[in-house]
């Protein structure tokens, strides 16, 4: 499974998800291990030690070691699955943040989004194909009739990887099948966000079709799902939550175009930086300006006044304190096109957080000032609908 759309989880000071164990690098990519894997590996080893195929080997207490070796080998094949995602992403020019192994399998975190539906499809589909290829090779190796534990290991890895490949093709997030469907619908609709919404809805339907209905319709005594109810519930919840998250993200992103800087802009006045605060505020009030910018003697734009800093200045100081003392120096990231909107607007504000931004026309003339609190208010309104 991979997550090219967005970071999958919060990150710590080193850029990793909190609490993970860093195993090192592989092909230049950080490899992480979730602590939950250790618990699950121990549980799986205990359960597998009682499996008839391992028990028949009559290994005594060593059967637990054999079972643990199988679990490690299985996760190594899952790691290869994730490496295939990473290598394909790199080939398509997308940076890879890390590969993480967890109790449900693995995850490949990428920076940014695929440039096209075809790129997204390639990154997603290579994982299941890799698992199926490993499974096919292992199935072929079973015909060599390897003796003892080696034979059991090869056979187990064969059918486990076939199962991983097939299950990952289920069209639900965050499985690769959900991302494959997203890429196909993106290609069909031309809208990445609408495709995400549709793929998320299909993922929730898949949970009902593949899991809930068989549990209801097939008699208990002949339904293999009942023999692994807890595993089925966890897997179904995993897909349902992932698909629901995709739906919420898509709904939010589909509403983002309503955020348009030009519509949210406040009228602005430009004054000399050495003008007193009192006089600058008086001039702004005369023209009903919602923001104040400062310029130097050569008319070069120098600062954008902070409302918070301005309000903190006592009235007795305003007649003699220069307006430039409550202004933030104008940097490149604080000057935005007046027509910026949607996801691009949110990204620009996130790149350089500030209280306000200068909006300019294509000819670099000043259109107005964009106050972050106004954007936040409009954002909450848009995404709450």
Q: pLDDT band at residue 18, thresholds of 50, 70 and 90?
A: confident
Q: pTM for the complete prediction?
A: 0.65
> Does residue 350 or residue 317 have the better pLDDT?
317
Condensed to tens digits (0 to 9), the pLDDT of residues 57-103 reads 566 667 788 888 888 898 999 999 999 999 999 999 998 988 998 87
Confidence at residue 7, expressed as pLDDT on a 0 to 100 scale: 39
Q: pLDDT band at residue 275, thresholds of 50, 70 and 90?
A: very high
Confidence at residue 9, expressed as pLDDT on a 0 to 100 scale: 45
Neighbours of 298 (CB within 10 A): 6
Q: pLDDT band at residue 170, thresholds of 50, 70 and 90?
A: confident
Condensed to tens digits (0 to 9), the pLDDT of residues 133-152 reads 999 998 888 777 766 667 77
Condensed to tens digits (0 to 9), the pLDDT of residues 259-274 reads 788 989 999 999 999 9
Mean pLDDT of 308-329: 92
Q: pLDDT band at residue 34, thresholds of 50, 70 and 90?
A: confident
Neighbours of 246 (CB within 10 A): 27
Mean pLDDT of 166-170: 89
First to last CA, the chain: 31
Confidence at residue 265, expressed as pLDDT on a 0 to 100 scale: 92
Confidence at residue 210, expressed as pLDDT on a 0 to 100 scale: 72
Find, among 36, 19, 8, the residue nearest to 234 by Cα: 36
* pLDDT at residue 154 is higher than 60: yes
Identify the H or E element spanning 269: strand 268-272
Q: Is the peptide bond before 195 cis (omega within 30 degrees of 0)?
A: no
Confidence at residue 315, expressed as pLDDT on a 0 to 100 scale: 92
| CA separation for the pair 309, 269 (Å, rounded) | 17
**CATH superfamily placement of domain 261-383:** CBS-domain (3.10.580.10)
> Does residue 91 or residue 45 have the better pLDDT?
91
Mean pLDDT of 198-214: 80
Condensed to tens digits (0 to 9), the pLDDT of residues 328-344 reads 999 888 999 999 988 78
> Does residue 36 or residue 320 have the better pLDDT?
320
Going edge to edge, which strands form the sheet with 301-305?
Answer: 268-272, 291-295, 301-305, 327-329
Q: pLDDT band at residue 11, thresholds of 50, 70 and 90?
A: very low
* pLDDT at residue 20 is higher than 60: yes
Q: pLDDT band at residue 216, thresholds of 50, 70 and 90?
A: low
Confidence at residue 361, expressed as pLDDT on a 0 to 100 scale: 93
Where in the chain are the domains? Answer: 2-258, 261-383
Mean pLDDT of 17-44: 85
* pLDDT at residue 368 is higher than 60: yes
Integer CA distances (angstroms), 353 to 12, 210, 302, 331, in order: 20, 45, 18, 12
Find, among 196, 57, 70, 176, the residue nearest to 122 by Cα: 176
| CA separation for the pair 171, 174 (Å, rounded) | 9
| CA separation for the pair 120, 100 (Å, rounded) | 20
Place of tokens 């997030």: 173
* pLDDT at residue 3 is higher than 50: no
Q: pLDDT band at residue 107, thresholds of 50, 70 and 90?
A: confident
Q: What angle do CA 43, 46, 48 make, to 5 degrees?
A: 105
> Does residue 112 or residue 31 have the better pLDDT?
31
Q: What is the mean pLDDT of the chain?
A: 83
Confidence at residue 6, expressed as pLDDT on a 0 to 100 scale: 40
Find, among 326, 336, 324, 332, the residue nearest to 371 by Cα: 336
Whether residue 269 contacts residue 289, with contact meaning beta carbons closer than 8 Å, is answered with yes
């Amino acid at each position: 499974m991979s997550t090219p759309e967005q970071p999958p989880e919060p990150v710590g000071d080193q850029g990793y998800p909190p609490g993970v164990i860093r195993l090192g690098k592989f092909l230049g990519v950080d490899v992480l291990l979730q602590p939950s894997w250790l618990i699950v590996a121990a549980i799986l080893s205990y359960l597998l030690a009682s499996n008839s195929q391992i028990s028949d080997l009559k290994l005594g207490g060593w059967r637990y070691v054999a079972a643990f070796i199988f679990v490690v080998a299985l996760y190594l094949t899952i790691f290869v699955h994730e490496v295939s995602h990473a290598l394909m992403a790199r080939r398509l020019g997308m940076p890879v943040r890390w590969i993480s192994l967890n109790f449900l399998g693995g995850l490949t975190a990428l920076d940014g989004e695929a440039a096209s539906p075809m790129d997204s499809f390639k990154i997603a589909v290579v994982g299941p194909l890799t698992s199926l290829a490993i499974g096919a090779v292992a199935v072929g190796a079973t015909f060599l009739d390897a003796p003892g534990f080696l034979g059991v290991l090869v056979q187990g890895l064969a059918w486990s990887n076939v199962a991983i490949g097939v299950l990952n093709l289920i069209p639900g997030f965050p499985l690769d099948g959900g991302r494959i469907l997203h890429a196909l619908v993106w290609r069909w609709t031309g809208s990445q966000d609408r495709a995400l919404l549709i793929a998320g809805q299909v993922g929730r339907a898949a949970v009902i079709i593949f899991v809930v209905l068989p549990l209801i319709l097939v008699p208990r005594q002949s339904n293999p799902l009942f023999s692994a109810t807890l595993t089925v519930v966890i897997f179904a919840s995993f897909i349902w939550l992932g698909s629901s998250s995709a739906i919420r993200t898509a709904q939010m992103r589909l509403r983002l175009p309503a955020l348009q800087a030009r519509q949210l802009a406040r009228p602005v006045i430009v004054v000399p930086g050495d003008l007193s605060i009192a006089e600058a505020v008086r001039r702004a009030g005369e023209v009903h300006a919602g923001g104040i910018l400062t310029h130097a003697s050569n008319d070069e734009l120098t600062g954008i006044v902070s409302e918070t800093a301005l309000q903190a200045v006592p009235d007795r100081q305003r007649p003699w304190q220069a307006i430039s003392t409550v202004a933030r120096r104008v940097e490149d990231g604080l000057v935005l096109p007046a027509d910026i909107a949607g996801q691009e607007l949110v990204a620009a504000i996130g790149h350089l957080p500030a209280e306000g931004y200068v909006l300019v026309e294509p000819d670099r003339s000043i259109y107005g000032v964009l106050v972050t609190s106004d954007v936040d208010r409009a954002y909450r309104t848009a995404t709450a609908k």
